[in-house]
Every structure is written in structure tokens, then in C-alpha cells.
A and B are shown apart, each in its own frame.
Chain A
């Protein structure tokens, strides 16, 4: 049984080795599929539905890029990665891009030789406590037992926060989010700390979510975004501007509902015209068809639509836009001009 696959693999290897030098865009086009690294499962961001189709906020970025490059939002091969395998998978070329709630940090950008092309979600570490504890600020948590995932930046952030505020805590090390949920509900710890989006998703699963509160303090910066390998700037540009197109579309009021109408003929707004390819040659500069952004936006909607669909107020996760609102609404989402 092994032999036949060895042969298949070797044949593939031989073909792939020949094409290794080529640009990622050409590889993706030749393959007809985008290999997108994603999470093995994170509520709201990446999860397979009952039909085996991946859904989620991170997944939507993959689909938008596939739509922009290949014209088909389903031409994506999702490669589930874990926290341990994600960077190797990207570095070795197993995947073309990684969208796996990965925090943009200096060392990952510089030392690991990746290019973060932007931020699709600004997260930050928060605390959740039972309402019965009567705590309204994280600074009142002196002496609390805290459930925390080991070996993550959250662990270090927590230590920093408590040291700066000169209060003590007792860590309860846990391995996975589900374990944390069980421990927290069983009362093994007073506080559960992880990214605020994760806290919201976890709280939504409780039998009585109102008995638990997420404290107002956010103690870290976690800008999560898509990343690609160093050294292929053309490909990085494509991913970066696809993400920017989604964000800009929301700013200009281009939605999946009105995009066909707006893209049919040049509108009075030149910025929209350039974005949708009815004016100028932006697509050509990227090496993509003129309607690349139209396809990307139609894949799932603009940034705001994706947010509302997967993690927004109307979903069980119920995240507010907060930092992820458009800059015009006091958020940090700010797409550079399409010009």
C-alpha cells in the first residue's frame, strides 16, 4: 500500500521541484487551487460545517484571495494547521498563505522571515469571571486562581500584568480551550484568561452566559492577520490588497448586495471605480484581471459583512466591532487609498 503512494508522491515531488523557483502566483494559477493554511478549529474563525465546507472569519480571507486570483471562491485547499505546525507549513511551501489568528509580532515578521500583509482582527487578552465573584476590574483579582494556556504569549502577558499592578495570582495550567471551559465551570479557577474573542465565544456556550462577565481590561495587543513568506513581494501585494479591498469596500459602502450594480458601469465615485476596475488599471498592476476586487468582495461580502456573518452581534459569539470598526467610526480599520 505504501509503495504506490511513494511513487505518486515522488512523481509529484519531481514536478513540484521543477516549479519551485517560480512565483507563488504562477504556482497557484498552474495548480488551479490556493493552498491556504488555517486553524484545525477556532470558533467563528475557522470550522468545517456539516457538509465539510470550511467556514469562518479567517477562512473568508482565504476565499476572497482565491476569488481574486482564480475567480472562484471555492478553489481553496484548506490545510488545517496547529500552533506548532503553522510556520513550518508556510516556510516549506506546503501552503501559499496562512490565515490562522496569528499575532503579528516583531520576531515572527523579522526572525521567522514572514511578511504580515495586514490585520483582519485586532484582538487582545481579557479576563472572564463569574458574576458571583463580584469583581468589576482585573486589578481587584489579587490572590485569584487563573486558568491559563501554557506556552503561549497569554501566559507571559498575564505575568507582566500582575507584576506591574503588584498583585499576586495562582496559575492553573491548562492545555486547550475546551479543558479551560471545563475547569472554569467546575470552579477549579476563579478567572479564565485568553484572547477576548475566545472569551466571548466560550461564554456564549455556557448554559447561563449572564452569570459570567468579561472584565473591561484588555492587557495585550494581538493584531491577527494573514501572512506569507518573505521574498515574493508580488504575492504579498495580492494578499495585502485583497484584504484592503474588503476593508475599503465597507468604507465606500460596496456590499455583496449592490456590487453588481456598482461594477456594471462607472459610478460617480472614482475611488469605487478604481476599486471595482471600471476605471484605471489596478488589477493589471497586480497581474490579475480588472474585476479581481469584485470577485473578492462577492466571495463573502465586504469586511463588515464578514464580521457580522461570522463573529458579529447577531451571532452567538456576539463580538462588538470595537477596535475593528472602520476608522471613520473610531476603529482601526484603515485601508490605504486605491489609487
Chain B
């Protein structure tokens, strides 16, 4: 073929050229730079300006972070050490305050010889959440998830081992009632009895039962009062409980809001709108101040418990609306398809509607979680010593009065670690569940 025109063309290539590597300016680091940072004159200018700005900021911050003192015993000593080491004009961070007080910022006033308890509790809580969060893990770990809600509070507050046992018994009672009554007297009555029986048990009998068992077999660990809770331990206790409880309560509220039953719907709408209509700080003031007036004098209803309840209610109301958004995004055909398959209401919700609605709502759910976790710092206003509240107490020490950025920087870093991991998990979950446009 190539020979056909040999007489009319000066040169004809008769072999395929080997593949050349792309030009050096479009591959590797150089190519990436050209493509992303210097693709046009305007972009080049913007890149240079941005780099200059970043450099300017870092030039101010980095010396402050690294020309620091880690070993001083007071702010004045810090300043002397920094001046001695880096010249009289230098000003640097006084990280010594973090070195001296980081355990307090994490555990508050929790007795130091018992630090293993919150650490173990936190590890158990994580281990209990893991099989729920990551489906790849062995299913046997779910037993851990069942035990964690009872074991972790026991580890934190201590006391007799029979109290969590007795509380857990309430759930067993409810389950047994459901299994026994439902076949005999119908589903509705079964559900009512299964709901009522545990509540009666918890309020009337569980306490004396635990006391009785404790008298028979006194097994327990040293109790720690709520007043000793503080720092990140307090934030995590409040945040994690609110997060874990708000999702199921939010799902129920969202379903209740869409229900055909008028009274149920009215209660759910009323609850959601009432809670969303007031700021969290108002609810916290109700928890810490108003309840004191309502309850009989001398009543000592644990303040952390009050706060946990309020934060949970608050988060649930927001969660309900996020999930309602997911439910509203589902095409009507999905509901009808579930009906057409002959599924009853709960089965339809569990197998068809909720998995899709929750998947749609993941970003909203996780940002509610993150918001709730950060909102726990508001408890400092009612006198609980969360990290922000504790930073104030540390500043009240004569040695550390006047230290601001170091403490807030440390607290911000810790919060960032928690919130960023939640956000990364949500992205992982979204990628994993992205089934339709693969």
C-alpha cells in the first residue's frame, strides 16, 4: 500500500512511530502545576497572591507556635524562658499550660487513679459502635453494642453492678411481654404492654431490686459523682449519648409527623416545632434553673442527666426534620411498591422506605451530629466545666491568668479531630451506599 505513491511523495513513513512520552510540561509535578495553578495569566497571578498570603500568615503563626515554652510553671516564667531562648523581641506560645493541665482538660475532676474507667468506657463505646458503623466487621461484635449502653455508664459513674443489670432487665421484660402478649391479645396491645411494663419496672422496682441484689452480692466499683465530670469527658459523654439517642427518636418523630393518626401527628409536630423554636441555651437554663424550682426542695436530680436529656430532645427535633427531608425525597412509587408487595407498615418502613430515606439524609444527619457535639460547649454557661468552661477555671489560676490562645487552640484542635472524623465517616458511608449511579 505504501509503495503506491512512492513516486509522488518525497517521504513516506512506512513504520509506526514508537509512542513518545507526553511533553515534560504536561506531566508530573510541572504538568500538575501548569494545569491547576498557572493555566492562565489570571490564575497565575491569583496563585502567586494566595501563596503570598499563606506565607504571610504562616510567617506570623509558625514562630509563635514553635518559639514556645513547654516547661515553665507560670505565664511570667514562660515569657522569661522564651525571651532567654529566642531574644527579647520574641513572643511565643506558652504550651506549658497544656502540659500541666491537659489531663484536667480531658478528664475534669475525675479522680486520677480511676482514669482507666473513662478510657475503657470510651474504648468500649467505640467498640460497640464499630459493628454498627462498619458492616465489614464480624456480626458477633453486635453483642458488644448491646452491652455498651449499660456497661459504659456503670464504668463512668461507678456504684453497684446490679443497677445496670436491673435496668437491662427492663428491656428483657419488654421483649418478653411483646413475645407473650402479642400472639394472645393482638399487636397493638402487645406493643402497649411491651412499652409500659419496662417503664413501670424502671420507675418502681428496678431501684429496690438493684439494692436487694447488692445486699445479697455486693459487687461494685467506687462511685464517682457527676460533679467530678469535666473537660472533654463531659463533652463526649453528653455528645455521644445525644447522638446515639437522637437518631432513633428522630426517626420515630419523623414518621409520627407523617402519620395519618391525628393526635400522634399533632404531638410530633408540636414537639418538633416547640423544641426547634427555642435556643438550646434556653433549654439548658430550664434544665439547670427552672427544674430546681419545680421539683420539691432538696431534690437532687443529677445535673448532667438533666443536660443530657435536654440536648437529646433538642437534637431529636432537628434529626426528625432532617429525616423528614429524606422521606419527602423518596418517590411515591416506593411507598406504593412496598404496599403492593403486601408489607405491613413497619416492614415497609424497615425494608423499603427507611434505608433509602436515611441514605439520602446522611449528610444532614452527620452535620446535625457535629452540631450537637459542638453545642455541648454551651453547658459552660450553666456552670458545668466542659473544656471551654475549664479553660476559664485554668485562667483563674494566678500562674496562668492571661493565657488565651494556647488553651483555645488546644480545645479547637481536639474538637476538630472529633468533628473531622465524623465528617470523613459520613463521606465513606455515602461512597459505600452510592448504588444507583455506579
Asked if A77 lies at the interface with its beta carbon under 8 angstroms from chain B, I say yes
Q: Are A20 and B302 in contact (CB under 8 A)?
A: no
Chain A: minimal CB distance from B52 (Å)? 25
Q: Are A93 and B298 in contact (CB under 8 A)?
A: yes
B308: chain A residues at CB < 8 Å are 2
Asked if B385 lies at the interface with its beta carbon under 8 angstroms from chain A, I say yes
Chain B: minimal CB distance from A1 (Å)? 4
Asked if B288 lies at the interface with its beta carbon under 8 angstroms from chain A, I say yes
Of listed B100, B300, B381, B401, residue having the most chain A CB within 10 A? B401
Interface-lining segment among B153-161, B351-359, B368-376? B153-161
Residue of A nearest to B108 (CB): A52
Q: Give Cα A176 to B408, complex, Å.
A: 15
Q: Are A7 and B296 in contact (CB under 8 A)?
A: no
Give per-residue flags for B127-163: 1 if the beta carbon is below 8 A from chain A beta carbons, else 0.
0000000000000000000000110111001010001
Q: Give Cα A46 to B394, complex, Å.
A: 10
Contact A82 to B397, CB < 8 A, known contacts A11-B207, A94-B300: no
Q: Are A8 and B157 in contact (CB under 8 A)?
A: yes
Contact A2 to B396, CB < 8 A, known contacts A82-B383, A88-B289: no
Give per-residue flags for B80-110: 1 if the beta carbon is below 8 A from chain A beta carbons, else 0.
0000000000000000000011001000110
Q: Are A4 and B395 in contact (CB under 8 A)?
A: no
Find residues 300-323 in chain A having any chain B CB closer than 8 Å to their own CB: 315-317
A47: chain B residues at CB < 8 Å are 393-394, 396-398
Q: Are B383 and A17 in contact (CB under 8 A)?
A: no
Chain B: minimal CB distance from A143 (Å)? 29
Q: Are A9 and B305 in contact (CB under 8 A)?
A: yes
Q: Are A7 and B398 in contact (CB under 8 A)?
A: no
Give per-residue flags for A199-216: 1 if the beta carbon is below 8 A from chain B beta carbons, else 0.
001101111000000000
Find residues 360-404 in chain B having any chain A CB closer than 8 Å to their own CB: 380-383, 385, 389, 392-399, 401-402, 404
Q: Give Cα A77 to B292, complex, Å.
A: 19
Chain B: minimal CB distance from A140 (Å)? 28
Asked if A242 lies at the interface with its beta carbon under 8 angstroms from chain B, I say no
Find residues 268-327 in chain A having any chain B CB closer than 8 Å to their own CB: 315-317
Contact A40 to B389, CB < 8 A, known contacts A13-B301, A19-B298: yes
Residue of A nearest to B97 (CB): A50
Q: Give Cα A290 to B387, complex, Å.
A: 44
B241: chain A residues at CB < 8 Å are 1-2
Asked if A3 lies at the interface with its beta carbon under 8 angstroms from chain B, I say yes
Asked if A124 lies at the interface with its beta carbon under 8 angstroms from chain B, I say no
Asked if A112 lies at the interface with its beta carbon under 8 angstroms from chain B, I say no
A1: chain B residues at CB < 8 Å are 149-150, 152-153, 241
Find A4's partner among B101, B153, B245, B397 (CB 8 Å cutoff).
B153
A7: chain B residues at CB < 8 Å are 163, 166-167, 202, 206-207, 210
A39: chain B residues at CB < 8 Å are 396
Asked if B19 lies at the interface with its beta carbon under 8 angstroms from chain A, I say no
Asked if A256 lies at the interface with its beta carbon under 8 angstroms from chain B, I say no
Q: Are A9 and B167 in contact (CB under 8 A)?
A: no
B100: chain A residues at CB < 8 Å are 50
B296: chain A residues at CB < 8 Å are 17, 20
Find residues 55-108 in chain A having any chain B CB closer than 8 Å to their own CB: 55-56, 77, 79-82, 84-85, 88-89, 91-94
- Size category of the binding interface on chain B: 35 or more
Q: Give Cα A20 to B295, complex, Å.
A: 12
Q: Give Cα A81 to B383, complex, Å.
A: 5
Find A3's partner among B75, B104, B170, B301 (CB 8 Å cutoff).
B170
Q: Are A48 and B109 in contact (CB under 8 A)?
A: yes
Asked if A111 lies at the interface with its beta carbon under 8 angstroms from chain B, I say no
Q: Are A13 and B207 in contact (CB under 8 A)?
A: no
Majority SS at the chain B contact face? helix
Find A43's partner among B76, B157, B163, B396 (CB 8 Å cutoff).
B396
Find residues 1-52 in chain A having any chain B CB closer than 8 Å to their own CB: 1-13, 16-17, 19-20, 39-50, 52
Q: Give Cα A42 to B404, complex, Å.
A: 15
B385: chain A residues at CB < 8 Å are 40, 80
Q: Are A43 and B401 in contact (CB under 8 A)?
A: yes
Give per-residue flags for B237-268: 1 if the beta carbon is below 8 A from chain A beta carbons, else 0.
00001000100000000000000000000000
Residue of B nearest to A51 (CB): B112
B298: chain A residues at CB < 8 Å are 16-17, 19-20, 93
Find B297's partner among A3, A4, A9, A92 (CB 8 Å cutoff).
A92
Q: Give Cα A201 to B293, complex, Å.
A: 36
Contact A40 to B404, CB < 8 A, known contacts A1-B153, A16-B300: no
Residue of A nearest to B156 (CB): A1
Q: Are B292 and A92 in contact (CB under 8 A)?
A: yes
Asked if B227 lies at the interface with its beta carbon under 8 angstroms from chain A, I say yes
Asked if B190 lies at the interface with its beta carbon under 8 angstroms from chain A, I say no
Give per-residue flags for B272-292: 1 if the beta carbon is below 8 A from chain A beta carbons, else 0.
000000000000010011001
Residue of A nearest to B203 (CB): A10
Find residues 30-70 in chain B having any chain A CB closer than 8 Å to their own CB: none
B153: chain A residues at CB < 8 Å are 1, 4-5
B292: chain A residues at CB < 8 Å are 88-89, 91-92, 94
Q: Are B79 and A207 in contact (CB under 8 A)?
A: yes
The 10 closest A-B pairs by CB, nearest first: A205-B402, A41-B396, A20-B298, A47-B396, A92-B292, A41-B393, A1-B153, A16-B298, A9-B302, A47-B397
Sample (16) of A-B pairs whose CB atoms are under 8 Å apart? A1-B150, A2-B312, A5-B153, A6-B305, A9-B305, A10-B207, A12-B302, A39-B396, A44-B398, A46-B396, A47-B393, A47-B397, A48-B397, A52-B108, A82-B383, A88-B289
Not counting A82-B381, A92-B293, a sample of 11 additional A-B residue pairs whose C-beta atoms are within 8 angstroms of each other reads A2-B245, A2-B309, A9-B300, A13-B299, A17-B299, A40-B393, A41-B395, A43-B401, A178-B392, A316-B74, A316-B76
* B residues adjacent to A (C-beta < 8 A): 74-76, 79, 100-101, 104, 108-109, 112, 149-150, 152-154, 157, 159, 163-164, 166-167, 170, 202-203, 206-207, 210, 225, 227, 241, 245, 285, 288-289, 292-293, 295-302, 304-305, 308-309, 312, 380-383, 385, 389, 392-399, 401-402, 404
